[in-house]
A and B are shown apart, each in its own frame.
Chain A
Amino acid sequence: MSDRIPILRIGDILLVSVQFDLEDQTVLNLQEDLAEQIVAKSAQGVVIDISALEIVDSFVGRMLATVAAISRVLDARTVVVGMRPAVAITLVELGLSLGGVSTALDLEKGLAKLRRPASSASQ
Chain B
Amino acid sequence: MTAPWAAGDDPQVYSVARSADVVQIRQVIRALAQQCRLSLVDQTKMITAASELARNTLTYGGGGTVSAGVVSDASKRGVAAVFEDSGPGIADVDQAMTDGWTSGGGLGLGLSGARRLVDDFRLHTVPGEGTTVTIIKWAR
A residues near B (Cβ < 8 Å) are 1, 21-25, 54-59, 61-62, 84-87, 89-90, 93-96
* Chain A interface helix/strand/loop/mixed: helix
A-B contacts, 29 listed (Cβ < 8 Å): A21-B26, A22-B23, A23-B23, A24-B19, A24-B22, A24-B55, A25-B19, A55-B26, A55-B48, A57-B51, A57-B52, A58-B52, A58-B113, A62-B107, A84-B44, A86-B41, A87-B44, A89-B41, A89-B44, A90-B41, A90-B44, A90-B117, A93-B45, A94-B109, A94-B117, A95-B99, A95-B112, A96-B109, A96-B113
> In whole angstroms, what is the CA distance A57 to B59 when docked?
15
User: Interface code B98-113, partner A: CB below 8 Å = 1, 0 otherwise?
Assistant: 0100000011011011
> In whole angstroms, what is the CA distance A59 to B112 when docked?
15
CB-based nearest B residue for A24: B19
* Chain B interface helix/strand/loop/mixed: helix
Report B-chain residues with C-beta under 8 Å of the C-beta of A55: 26, 44, 47-48, 51
